[in-house]
Structure 1
Amino acid sequence: MQVNTQRYFLEIAYKGTAYHGWQIQQNAVSVQEKLQQALQTVLRQEVETTGAGRTDTGVHATKLYVHVDIPSEKISSPQRFVHALNAILPSDISVQRLLPVHTEAHARFDATSRSYEYHIHLGKNPFLQDASWLLRDMPDVDKMNAAAQLLLGKKDFGCFSKAHTQVFTNICTITEARWVLDGQRLTFHITADRFLRNMVRAIVGTLLEVGLKGKPVEHVAEVIASQDRSQAGASVPACGLYLTQIIYPYIDQPS
């Protein structure tokens, strides 16, 4: 008997401290593994999920979309289904929404933009342990914002990518790159059509060379032109990085 299925997007959030990233891998606990285990428990059948992209070990997400095909008769109430999943999932992973989408909808390939934030705190705060990076010296925020403007546009950002990744191109289009200082909290906001592996953490490390180590603003443009990872700054710790937004043409974003 043919089973009718419906494709859904799950909107999830997680604190990545305890996980080796989003993607399932051998001999390491991942967010995808925990989510699929919860889905299989609730649905009483095996399922496969596809995420919007990978996040690395220790990186967090306030919003990540996952698509999954589920037999139509299995979900009578999206709210009850979400509640059932959250009752099973560990406390550091949550499902926010269940959204029916069209049959060919793809969580990874249909995304038109992605946004990240990198969080820094400037004074020791035990409540931000594993959720932000402690920076002991105040950087020159205005200078870093001037340097961040040199990131905007369509460019080859291979200089900020981890080596030996399986991508066809290093071309990305960055539409937002800015720092916001709020008291003792410093946050870097960045939006692009796509990101390379380790790209945001390498960009933050490079901008901090401008803000803390006396590199000129133009250093960022020189690093990009070099297409050489060794010319960019060191990658900052994963604990401060958050995936915060993914845009699709057919998904309404809650206000």
Structure 2
Amino acid sequence: MKALSTFLRRDIEVVGAGRTDAGVHASLMVAHFDYEEKNAETDEDVLLDADLVADKLNRILPPDISVYRVCRVRPDAHARFDATARTYKYYVTTVKSPFNRQYRCRVYGSLDYARMNEAARTLFDYTDFTSFSKLHTDAKTNNCQVTHAEWTQVDEVTWVFTIRADRFLRNMVRAIVGTLLEVGRGKMTVDGFRRVIEQQDRCKAGTSVPGQALFLVDVEYPEELFDLSDT
């Protein structure tokens, strides 16, 4: 917001697609801002050069934040409320490495990923995920529709859990991963994982995993938000 206000030389409010837990990364985040300026002579709208805005912002922003793309959307588009799905990835590794310690969670011992995937598939059968939500939040509902949840192997020492849903509760992904690790270690059965969801009690779920290994990787929107033919 500060960089955009500096570049446009006016106060600009930036609205993000959502917020992430402390320490969580975003390899992709979406935000919107409103801008209106008239040509003094013709009274026509002045359109910003999207490529120029992206380039100028990247010159102002700190090195750990970059703007991939700026584009025009419909006037009523909203980065948060119009999102139809979000995707997160959580990375675990079995080895210590100084190069990825800020982006991976180290796990010890062997894990049964097949059993963890069996448990993950039960998420499709439910919509109330109170058991995986941070307590005392301002969320009006704990209902979410999970459409993808799967562990896949990246390399010999790294696995990633990918989950997609229409919305996520605070701490939800980290709590799900922590509980799935209990399944992978043999400390909880698949039926036990299902009961955790059904009890709608955060105390029944596993410990939340650290935030540094979690990445927001995608936010999806209806195509019509980018259709400006009748605006």
TM-score normalised to structure 2 length: 0.90
Higher RCO, Cα 8 Å, sep 6+: 2
Query: What is the aligned counterpart of 1:170 among 130, 142, 147?
Result: 142
Whether contact under 8 Å (1:159, 1:232) holds in the other structure is: yes
Structure 2 Cα separation of the partners of residues 219 and 72 of structure 1: 58
Identical positions, percent: 46
Task: Could you list the structure 1 runs, at least 4 aligned residues long, displaced by more than 2 angstroms after superposition.
Answer: 71-77
Structure 2 Cα separation of the partners of residues 202 and 105 of structure 1: 31
Structure 1 Cα separation of the partners of residues 19 and 112 of structure 2: 32
Distance change (3 Å), C-alpha of 1:108 and 1:38: same
| Residue-pair matches, total | 217
Report the counterpart of residue 216 of structure 2 in structure 1.
243
- 2:67 aligned counterpart, secondary structure: strand
Within the alignment, does 1:199 sit opposite 2:164 as a pair?
no
- 2:219 aligned counterpart, secondary structure: strand
- 2:144 aligned counterpart, secondary structure: strand
Query: What is the aligned counterpart of 2:7 among 39, 42, 60?
Result: 42
Within the alignment, does 1:156 sit opposite 2:95 as a pair?
no
Query: What is the aligned counterpart of 2:196 among 218, 223, 234?
Result: 223
Work out which of the two has the higher radius of gyration on C-alpha atoms and give 1 or 2. Answer: 2
More moved, 200-209 vs 122-131: 122-131
| 1:15-164 matches, cutoff 5 A | 36-72=1-37, 76-164=48-136
Give the letter aligned to residue 178 of structure 2.
G
Whether contact under 8 Å (1:75, 1:81) holds in the other structure is: no
Structure 2 Cα separation of the partners of residues 76 and 49 of structure 1: 16
Q: Please state how far the C-alpha of 1:138 moved relative to its aligned partner.
A: 2.6
Structure 2 Cα separation of the partners of residues 170 and 71 of structure 1: 37
CA RMSD of aligned residues (A): 1.4
Give the letter aligned to residue 106 of structure 1.
H
Which structure's residues are more often strand, by fraction? 1
Q: Please state how far the C-alpha of 1:76 moved relative to its aligned partner.
A: 4.2
Structure 2 Cα separation of the partners of residues 153 and 86 of structure 1: 43
TM-score normalised to structure 1 length: 0.82
Q: Please state how far the C-alpha of 1:153 moved relative to its aligned partner.
A: 3.9
Structure 1 Cα separation of the partners of residues 195 and 91 of structure 2: 25
Whether contact under 8 Å (1:141, 1:181) holds in the other structure is: no
Structure 2 Cα separation of the partners of residues 168 and 136 of structure 1: 37
Q: Please state how far the C-alpha of 1:214 moved relative to its aligned partner.
A: 2.7
Structure 2 Cα separation of the partners of residues 219 and 115 of structure 1: 25
**1:69-120 CA distance string (max 9 Å, x none):** 1234676421121011011111111110101001110001101111100011
Structure 2 Cα separation of the partners of residues 123 and 133 of structure 1: 10
Whether contact under 8 Å (1:153, 1:175) holds in the other structure is: no
Structure 1 Cα separation of the partners of residues 34 and 109 of structure 2: 49
Structure 2 Cα separation of the partners of residues 152 and 159 of structure 1: 15
Structure 1 Cα separation of the partners of residues 60 and 185 of structure 2: 45
